[in-house]
Structure 1
C-alpha cells in the first residue's frame, strides 16, 4: 500500500483520505501543531491541503522529505506578488496590478489602474478577508500597514465568476473538469453549478490557460484556477495549488472526484478523464447548524465536516446531481425551506443558472 502524508488535517485532508481508500493508498492527514513527529519512510509521498503553513517541527519534517510533491510551487502561489509575476511571465490574462511598496501613492493607483482598485494581502486573506478597496470618489488613501504587505489590482467589471480544476501526473498527462459557475457572497464561495452548456465555448480556452500553468510549473496533482468572465474572455483571479471548494460537486457528480484525481496523481495511480454524471449544484454551508432533514431530501448529498459551527465558517456542503433539471429544482426548493433566510437569494441564483436565466 502506498503511503501519502497530507500536510494539514482540515476537511480537505479528510476528504483526500476518504478518496484514497478505494485506490489502496493510505492517506494520513497531519496536524501541523502535533506533538508527535510523523515517521516518514523514504518511499513515502507528501502532499498538502493548504498552500501556506507556519514553521513547526511537523511542517519542517514534512518539507524536508524528498518526495514532497510540488514543494517549490506552494510558496510561489501562496504569495500573490509572485503569483501575479508568474501569470505575467506565462502571458496569461489577469487584472492589471502593482506592488504596494513604500513609494506607491493612491494618486498613482488611480492614474494607472482606474478609480476603483482592490488591495489584497500578499499572503493569507482568503474568503473575503485581507482586502481593502481604494476608491477615488471617496478619496481613499493607502493605509501605512498595507505597504510592502500587499498588491493592488484594477477593479474588474466582470460579467460573472467561474473556475476550472485540472489534474496533471508526473508524465505530463492532463485532464480537466468542466468550467464551474460560482457565486461569491462577501468574498466567500457560496454556491457552484456545473456543467452549463452555455460555458462550453469557453472550456478550451480555460483548459489551455490552466494547462500552461500546470506544465510551466511541472505540477503534479490538482490545481484550481478562478476566473472572471468579461464578454468572451477569461481573466485569472486566483490560483490554488490543491483541491478546491469550487469542485466539491465532483464528489457526487463525476466518475472520479477532484480528491481521487489528486491522490491518483501524487501516488502514481493512472489518471482518467472524469465523466460527469449530470448537472451539478453545490451549496456551501457557512455558519449553519446541522439539520437532520437535509439527509431526507431526495437527491441531496450532504457532507458535514464535523467542525464547531461559527459565523461564516465552512461547516459542510450539500450537492445535487441530476440529469433532469426538474427534480434538481424540486430538491433545491425543499432545501430552501430548511436553510436560513440568507440562503434564499443563493437558491434563487442557483435555480436561475440551472434554468439558463440571463442573470445566472
Structure 2
C-alpha cells in the first residue's frame, strides 16, 4: 500500500483519505498544530490541503520531506501579491490591482483603481475574511496595519462567479472538469451547480488560463481557479493549489472526483478525462446543526465533517446528481424546510439555474 501524507487534517484532508481507500492508498492527514513527529519514509509522498501552515514539529517535518509535491508552489500562490504578479506575467486577465506600499494612500488607490477599491490581505483570509472596502473617495483610509500587507483591487461589476477545477500529471498532461457556477453570500460559497450548457462557450478560455498557470508552475495535482464572468469573458479572481469547495460536486457528478484526481496525480497513477454523469448541485452547510432528515430527501448525498458547529463555519455539504432536473428541483423543495430560513435564497438560486 502506497502512503501519502497530507499537511492538514481538516475536511479536505479527510475527504482525500476517503478517496484514497478504493485506490489502496494509505492517506494520512496530519494536524498542522501537532508537535509530534511521524514515520515518514523516503519513498512516500507529501501533499497539502491548505496553502499556509504554522511552524510546528509536524509541519517542519512534512515540509522538509524531499517528496513534498508542489512545495515551491505554495508560497507563490499563498501570497496574493506573488499570485497576482504571476497572473500578470503570464498575460492572463484579472482585475486591475496594485500593492499597498508603505506610502500608499486611499486617495492614491482611488485615483488609479476607481471609486470602489477592495483591499485584500496578502496572506490568510478566506470566506470573506481579510478584506476591507474603500468606497468613499476623500473620506476613507487604509487601516494602519495593512500597508505592505495587502493588495488593492478595482471592484469588478461582474455578471456571475464561476470556477474551474483542473488536474495535471507529472508528465504535463492536463484534464479539466466543466465550469461550475457558484453563489457566495457574505463571501462564503453556499451553492454550486455544474455543468451548465450556457457556460460551455467559456470552457476553452477557462482551460487555457488554468492550463497556462499549471504548466508554468510545473504543478502536479488538482488546482482550482475562481473567476468572474464579465460578459463573454472570464477574469481570474483567485487560485487554490489544492482541492476546492467548488469542486465538491464531483464526488457525485463525475466518474473521478477531484479528491481521487489529486491523489492519482500525486501518486503517479494514470489520469483520465473526467466523465460527467448529470448536472449536479452542491449545498454548502455553514453554521447549521446536523439534521438526519436530510438523508430522507431523494438523491441527497450528505458529507458531514464532524466539526463543532459555529456561525460561519463550514460543517458539511449535500450533493445532488439526479438524472432529471425536475427531480433535482423537487428534492431541493423537500430539503428547504429542513434548513435555516436563510437558505431560501440559496435554494431559489439553485432552482433558477436548473430552469
Equivalent residue number for residue 236 of structure 2:
236
Q: Is the 8 A contact 2:281 2:320 kept in 1?
A: yes
What is the aligned partner in structure 2 of residue 134 from structure 1? 134
RMSD: 0.8
2:285 maps to which residue? Answer: 285
Q: Which residue of 1 aligns with 2:98?
A: 98
Specify the alignment match of 1:53 in structure 2.
Answer: 53
Deviation at 1:124, TM superposition (A): 0.6
Once the two structures are TM-superposed, the CA of residue 138 in structure 1 deviates from its matched residue by 7.2
Q: Structure 1: which 5+ residue stretches go unaligned?
A: 356-360
CA contact (8 A) 2:166 2:176 kept: yes
Partner in structure 1 of residue 166 of structure 2: 166
Query: What is the aligned partner in structure 2 of residue 38 from structure 1?
Result: 38
How do 1:45-84 and structure 2 match up within 5 A?
45-84=45-84
Within 5 Å, give how 1:1-360 maps onto structure 2. Answer: 1-137=1-137, 139-355=139-355
The alpha carbon displacement at 1:139 in A equals 2.0
Give the distance between the partners of 1:138 and 1:282, measured in 2 at CA.
42
Rounded to whole Å, the distance in 2 between the matches of 1:122 and 1:281 is 32
CA distance in 1, matches of 2:57, 2:36: 9
Task: Tell me how far apart the structure 1 counterparts of residues 42 and 78 of structure 2 sit (CA, whole Å).
Answer: 27
The CA deviation at 1:136 is 2.9
Separation in structure 2 between the aligned mates of residue 87 and residue 99 of structure 1, nearest angstrom: 14
Unaligned runs of 5+ in 2: none
User: What SS does the aligned partner of 1:202 have?
Assistant: helix
Q: Give the paired residue count.
A: 355
Contact 2:121-2:151 at 8 Å conserved across structures: yes
- For residue 137 of structure 1, report the CA deviation from its aligned partner: 4.9
Q: Which moved more, 1:254-263 or 1:97-106?
A: 97-106
Q: TM-score, with normalisation over the residues of structure 2? A: 0.99
1:97-125 Cα distance to aligned partner (Å, 9 max, x none): 01111111111111110100000000011
Calculate the TM-score normalised by the size of structure 1. Answer: 0.98
Aligned to 1:358: none
Maintained 8 Å contact 2:14/2:29: yes
